[in-house]
Structure 1
Amino acid sequence: MIRIYHNPRCRKSREGLALLENSGNSFEIVRYLDEPLDEEQLADLIKALGISADQLIRKNEAIWKSEYKGKSLSEKELLKAMVTHPKLIERPIIWKDGKAVIGRPAEKIHEIL
Structure 2
Amino acid sequence: MAVNIKIYHNPACATSRNTLALIRNTGHEPEIIEYLNTPPNKRELIDLIQSSGLSIKEALRKNVEPYTLLELDKIPYNDDQIIEFMLKYPILINRPFVKTELGTRLCRPSEIVLDILSQPQLQAFAKEDGEVIINEHLQRVK
Q: So what's the TM-score if we normalise by structure 1?
A: 0.93
Match of 1:18 among 8, 15, 21: 21
Alpha-carbon contact 1:4-1:92 (below 8 Å) kept: yes
Q: What displacement does 1:50 show?
A: 0.8
Q: What displacement does 1:73 show?
A: 1.2
How big is the alpha-carbon RMSD for the aligned residues of Structure 1 and Structure 2?
1.2
Deviates more, 1:16-25 or 1:80-89: 16-25
**Would you say 1:4 and 2:7 are equivalent positions?**
yes
Secondary structure of 1:47's partner?
helix
Q: What amino acid is aligned across from residue 81 of structure 1 in structure 2?
A: F
Alpha-carbon contact 2:59-2:93 (below 8 Å) kept: yes
Distance 2:96 2:50 in 1: 16
Q: What amino acid is aligned across from residue 51 of structure 1 in structure 2?
A: L
What is the percent sequence identity of the aligned residues?
35
Q: Hey, what does 2:33 align to over in structure 1?
A: 30
Match of 1:111 among 91, 94, 115: 115
Unaligned runs of 5+ in 1: none
Tell me how many residue pairs correspond in the alignment: 113
Unaligned runs of 5+ in 2: 118-142
Deviates more, 1:10-19 or 1:24-33: 24-33
Alpha-carbon contact 1:48-1:98 (below 8 Å) kept: no
Off by >4 Å, runs of 4+ in structure 1:
none
The higher relative CO (CA closer than 8 Å, separation ≥ 6) is in 1
Q: Hey, what does 2:125 align to over in structure 1?
A: none
Q: Hey, what does 1:102 align to over in structure 2?
A: 106
Secondary structure of 1:77's partner?
helix
